[in-house]
Amino acid sequence: MAISFLKKRWQKVLLGVFGILLAIITVLAFSVNSYWSPILAKKLKTTILSSTDSLYSMSFSNARLNVLEGKIIIDNIELKPNIDIYNRKKKNHIAPNSLYTLQLKRLVITHIHPLKLYFSKKLDINQIVFSEPHLHIDYEQNRDQDTLIKDKKTPYQLISKVLKAIHVQNIMLNDVKVKYVDHTEAKPDIEEFDQVNINATDFLLDSTSQKNKARFLFCKDVSAELNNYEGTSDGKLYKYKIKQFRFSTFSSQLNVTGISFLPIASTDDFFKNTSNDRFVVGLDSLRLNNFDFKTYSKYHKLYASSLLLAGGKISIQSNPAPADTSIDNSRNFPQLMLKNLKMDLRIDTVLVNKLGVNYTEYNQKSGQPGAISFDNINGRILNITNNKTALQKSHVAVAQLQAYFMNSGKLDAQFEFNLNDENTPFTFRGTLGAIDLKQVNPVTMPLALIKIASGSVKKLDFDIHANKKVSKGTLTLLYNNLKISLLKRGADDKLKKMGIVSLLANAMIIKRDNPMDQEPIRSANIIYYRRASASFFSFMWKSIFTGLKESVGFDARTERTIAQKIGQFKQNKLSRQARKTIRKQKRFERRKRRELRKQRKHAQSLQGNPQRPQI
């Protein structure tokens, strides 16, 4: 077919013309490439200097323009700060908090319009792709808010003499390696990230966009994704892993999935190094709404309208034997932890959805741990902040939560925390619905040496006001048919029933019902003094348990009486054993004396009747 096509003369002429045109275009493209490449290189360098007020400069090894493909390729790029300019700005208190150094193996700019750039001074680009980017960020807080500078020019004003507009539809940075160095403290804090993907859309810098607050860095949207991030906490006690970070400036949402926060050391080794509680955290997802990324990136202030915690479990284990019991662990109360947080924080609402919390405490008397669980927690927490301006408007954080206690009884609880008072005043009140009391044996047996044989709760109400030293309040427990067994730790470290004392307690001390027949409802008055080393969770649990024991007649005085009776019982038991031993010894001595008398009589009989000799 090709040969028959070329037999006709007009076809040969057409092919020749086409070849000549292609050759001319190729020559022109080559000439334009050679002419425009240095011009574009100069434009880029000038634009960077102008738009950053000479704070940053760009260098590269080669820049090529391909007119036919509408593409610019720049190799071995380095964007670096001018330290002299930075120090000058720092001296005048106008230096930014972050300095950036960027290294790229290659930058590819596609679908650029050189004629529009030359004649209209408008740089219009379809896409920019960064290859193998390495980003180094140095952070030092030179200011905590935007500094007003007289006659400060906008980025557009800085480039307006060179360009009228810069427009890029899409900017892509894939598999970015980031090194972040925070110089806030005396010792720099270094974080390194791999597998960071950044995508920016609709970058526009012109006279209309220069003051558009809806755009971030003049982009309609900047989204970032970080995968498989892990590290260790400051104290090297915990390691944390995050499956994925995702953030968008357009939606102002930060989404985090697959969060784990785990102790590095075993339980025994962990408590050798700290008096704090031990945490194990696993969260399915976390989402910040209306996250002010601009303020966070500039000043390390975290502001958001809401935080959603969805799915997962938090386990808390108290220190079984703090090395120094004089240490005041009230520093770990929520208010003081929030106050001592280095970051300026303001979150209007925290929403909790299907979260589980377990608390475990070890009892020296029983030699065993007891565990309390709260399952399927839902609710909200309002006004989580340490921001001074926000605290002037409202200094109380309120939590309204619903859960299932021991995966059985429904619990509605409300907490209020005073965020300004060093004495950490707070209140906690709530209502627990119907529950079989045997469900709480995993708590009462190891922690109180009490086993509940039978009993059912109709309703529990509590209202407690506390600070870091003492809790006071009331508790009302409505229940029926309560029967208990008192336990003791056996020689094999297993808990054993104290039969006689349990019978005494059920017959004479424990009140089987509330209310009793023809009697009003009983309520317990709680006064519980916290020991210095006790954690926040231990303090709340023991405050409530004090009221529970008093409600059933097992108050502190009764508990002391039972302890005395147990002591007397043990003493009597020892006395009986001693008397038994003495009686046994006396019987042995009597048998010994009888044997001696028999031996003497036998000897005397032999002396009085000598044996005759045989003939």
Domain definitions of the chain by residue range: 33-224, 560-594
469-492 pLDDT, tens digit each: 999 999 999 999 999 888 888 878
Q: What mean pLDDT is reported for the chain?
A: 82
Cβ atoms of 486 and 498 within 8 Å: the answer is yes
CA angle 606, 610, 612 (to 5 degrees): 140
Q: Give whichever of 75-84, 153-162, 213-222, 431-440 has the largest mean pLDDT.
A: 431-440
Confidence of residue 152 (pLDDT cuts 50, 70, 90): low
Mean pLDDT computed over 22-27 = 42
pTM here is: 0.79
Among 41-50, 160-169, 389-398, whose mean pLDDT is lowest?
41-50
* pLDDT exceeds cutoff 50 at 100: yes
Give the up-direction half-sphere exposure of residue 59: CA atoms within 13 A in the CB hemisphere. Answer: 5
pLDDT score recorded for residue 267: 86
* pLDDT exceeds cutoff 90 at 328: no
Cβ atoms of 224 and 198 within 8 Å: the answer is yes
pLDDT score recorded for residue 1: 46
349-361 pLDDT, tens digit each: 999 999 999 999 8
* pLDDT exceeds cutoff 90 at 304: yes
Structure-model confidence comparison of residues 400 and 142, the more confident one = 400
Which residue stretches of 394-507 are H helix? 441-448, 499-504
Q: Is 387 exposed, middle or buried (0-12, 13-18, 19+ CB in 10 A)?
A: middle
| Cα distance between residue 368 and residue 494, in whole Å | 9
The DSSP symbol for 514 reads: B
The string of DSSP codes covering 418-442 is ESS-TT--EEEEEEE--EEGGGGHH
165-203 pLDDT, tens digit each: 888 899 898 888 888 888 888 788 888 888 788 899 998
Q: Is 95 helix (H, G, I), strand (E, B) or coil?
A: coil
pLDDT score recorded for residue 27: 41
pLDDT score recorded for residue 570: 60
Cβ atoms of 168 and 128 within 8 Å: the answer is yes
Structure-model confidence comparison of residues 313 and 577, the more confident one = 313
Q: Which residues of 184-215 are buried (b: 16+ CB within 10 A; e: fewer)?
A: eeeeeeeeebeebebbbebbbbbeebbeeeeb
Report the largest interatomic distance among the alpha carbons of the chain, rounded to a whole angstrom: 172
* pLDDT exceeds cutoff 90 at 395: yes
Among 366-370, 441-445, 447-451, 564-568, whose mean pLDDT is lowest?
564-568
